[in-house]
Chains A and B, each alone.
Chain A
Amino acid sequence: MSGFIWPEAKSGLIIRDRAKGVAVPKKYEFIEHTADLGFMAYGASIEELFAHAAEAFFEAIVGLESVEERIERAIEVEAYAVDNLMVSWLGELLYLYDTERLVFKRFQIKWIEDNHLQASVYGEVLDPARHEIKTGIKAVTYHQLYVKERKGGWEARVIFDI
């Protein structure tokens, strides 16, 4: 475990989609150090950033590929600052996972305004036969947390307690 300084991503990180032969912006990447796990997420807009952050979250927990869209849930969260809104948003998803065993794969952010977010999320109830649980996440922390606008888009860094 460490006091490792989590990296800040270079803005506008681009990866090449080999299948399509085109350059596409990266949605997120995991960062890990000893007892920690976190991610950097990117988006062209703040809405996209929050959607990609949620994708990273469930990718860490269960892997998005195995999740099907069978259930839709409406989510609304509020906070007093944009980085706290990120913690509240992921905290809400963690709560649904922990209490109703819901795993999600698609996140449609309707709007984010004044640190207030409304979204529809799509997924299903965890099925141990089809889903392999990869990581148990206890909480979303404030450690080295940030959400910021950079030229060409938005990015965030989030670290979990696992």
Chain B
Amino acid sequence: MSTDIEIQKLDDFRWIIPKKGKMKTEGLVYADERMLAVIRKDASLEQVANVACLPGIVGRSLAMPDIHWGYGFPIGGVAAFDMEDGIVSPGGVGYDINCGVRLLRSELDARDIRDQIPTLVNALFRNIPSGVGSRRKDLKLSAHEMEKVLIKGAGWAVSHGYGSQEDIEHIEARGCIPGGNPEYISQRAYTRGKDQLGTLGSGNHFVEVGYVEEVYDEAAATALSLRKGQVTVIVHTGSRGLGHQVCDDYIKVLLKASTKYKIDLPDKQLCCAPIASKESQQYLSAMACAANFAFCNRQLITHWVRETFQDVFQAGPRELGLHLVYDVCHNIAKVEEHEIDGKTRKLCVHRKGATRAFPPHSPFIPEDYKEAGQPVLIPGDMGRYSYVLVGTDTAFKETFGSTCHGAGRVMSRHQAQKAARGRSIVRELEDQGIYVRGAAKGTINEEISEAYKDVSDVVNVVHQAGIGKKVARLKPMGVIKG
């Protein structure tokens, strides 16, 4: 347990884990006092300290306020490594490579479509396969086409009529992590993924129709074309079985490599290798493929969301105006340039359960958001709300341009099932004006609101600490769950 980890208060929202033992740098945790007490109940701070022991770490080992314990690296952890003497670790990205979120806006008003929400949600549920092992029967790709997906990401979808160039401009990394080589994808990963492209999957993945309930920053909201009462759609999914298998395959490779390169591991799941090594380069290439699969997946699902809206509302694309606001990764390792002690350095930034949050005027964000900063999408649980933030200069300086990613569970799935026993969760949500369809009853019960932390607590900390700026809050009206 982390209760014995030493912590020093820097200010109301920043806590330092001092350098001790094998740690090469200190840890920095973003939280308020109340949250920290909860965080200390699990071993996530120990994991922050473990990450600080890895070779070539640059700056601090960082923890976002939604940090919780994960396999190897904590979830909500950010760490950057030097390209020459640093490492890459599949555990620093996680099993669901490029699990991420995208937000669509529309020209519709919530009050005009409320009555049609059940029809809309049922149609989305029919058109977007969800649940464990869900697959699409109408999208069979040859091995050759699938390779193109793995290389091109969202670009593949757009070049096949699923979306537009405007979509591409509004995706992190333009929907494609360069360097993906399908040769480094095992047959097994390929087979697990091939029928799952265009599907939502299970767990906490969802498509949510909601509306802008509150605007905190008018100027930024206007830049993102968001206004109060406007209907929005969130898509949350990742790289499905393909990504899980890539992680699994490369944990095996890097377990061996850690021994080969004599890296002292505090935990097996932290297995890693020098960035320049053959093993790391192959992992990064396979990870890029999986990330591109996920970008393509969200792009395809977006297409079917648009089609469904057109069918249900009998309206054309222009009238509906379902434009992509932005698409962000939550689990990824990327090569980026950051300023360290006045010098620009190339680093490999691992974000596991964390979101890139680049500031205004960054060359890596869409032209139309130059003044506002990069949109950051923070989904909450299905009964409460989600947030739209923008990146800040403080985040760029302190956290390699990173911020939080979500709420995080407080109840186990079993506890949630128990809490839901004898209740109709679907009915309860309907009473709150939220219509939910799930692939299985169990998955809805597991995702009840009280099983999650209140995402507003997390968002308020990053806002007050300055590593993200609140723009708007979204309220769900209809959800399809995997």
Q: Tell me the A residues contacting B by CB distance below 8 Å.
A: 1-5, 32-37, 61, 84, 91, 95, 97-99, 101, 126, 132-136, 138-143, 145, 161-162
A97: chain B residues within 8 A (beta carbon): 133
Minimum Cβ distance to chain B for residue A143 (Å):
5
Minimum Cβ distance to chain A for residue B97 (Å):
11
Contacting pair B409 A133 (CB below 8 A)? no
Contacting pair A136 B132 (CB below 8 A)? yes
Given A98-B192, A139-B244, are A1 and B133 also a contact pair (CB < 8 Å)?
no
A-B contacts, 19 listed (Cβ < 8 Å): A1-B44, A2-B69, A3-B2, A3-B43, A3-B47, A4-B69, A5-B1, A35-B412, A84-B255, A95-B191, A99-B192, A99-B195, A101-B133, A133-B131, A133-B442, A139-B248, A145-B268, A161-B71, A161-B95
Given A99-B192, A136-B201, A139-B247, are A2 and B440 also a contact pair (CB < 8 Å)?
no
Contact size class for B?
35 or more
Contacting pair A34 B68 (CB below 8 A)? yes
B440: chain A residues within 8 A (beta carbon): 132-133
Contact with A along B227-263 (1 / 0, CB 8 A): 0000000000000010011011001100100000000
B131: chain A residues within 8 A (beta carbon): 133, 136
Question: Which of chain A's residues has its CB closest to B241's CB?
Answer: A98
Other than A1-B44, A136-B131, give 5 A-B pairs with Cβ distance below 8 A.
A34-B412, A133-B202, A135-B442, A136-B132, A162-B413
Question: Which of chain B's residues has its CB closest to A134's CB?
Answer: B442
Complex Cα distance A35/B44, Å?
13
Minimum Cβ distance to chain B for residue A100 (Å):
9
Contacting pair B75 A139 (CB below 8 A)? no
Complex Cα distance A35/B42, Å?
12
Contacting pair B442 A142 (CB below 8 A)? no
Q: Tell me the B residues contacting A by CB distance below 8 Å.
A: 1-2, 41-44, 46-47, 68-72, 75, 95-96, 131-133, 188, 191-192, 195, 201-203, 241, 244-245, 247-248, 251-252, 255, 267-269, 408-414, 439-440, 442-443, 482
Which one of A33, A99, A135, A141 lies within 8 Å of B71 (CB-CB)?
A141
Complex Cα distance A2/B44, Å?
7
Number of A-B residue pairs having CB atoms within 8 Å of each other in the complex? 107
A1: chain B residues within 8 A (beta carbon): 42, 44, 68-70, 75, 408-409
B44: chain A residues within 8 A (beta carbon): 1, 3
A-B pairs, 7 with minimum CB distance: A3-B43, A136-B202, A2-B42, A1-B68, A136-B132, A3-B42, A138-B244
Contacting pair B442 A132 (CB below 8 A)? yes
Interface centre among B41, B203, B248, B268 (most CB of A within 10 A): B248
B413: chain A residues within 8 A (beta carbon): 32, 35, 37, 135, 162
Given A3-B2, A33-B412, are A139 and B95 also a contact pair (CB < 8 Å)?
yes
Question: Which of chain A's residues has its CB closest to B135's CB?
Answer: A101
Minimum Cβ distance to chain B for residue A106 (Å):
21
B482: chain A residues within 8 A (beta carbon): 136
Complex Cα distance A99/B186, Å?
14
A136: chain B residues within 8 A (beta carbon): 131-132, 201-203, 443, 482
Contacting pair B133 A143 (CB below 8 A)? no
A95: chain B residues within 8 A (beta carbon): 188, 191-192, 245
Contacting pair B203 A162 (CB below 8 A)? yes
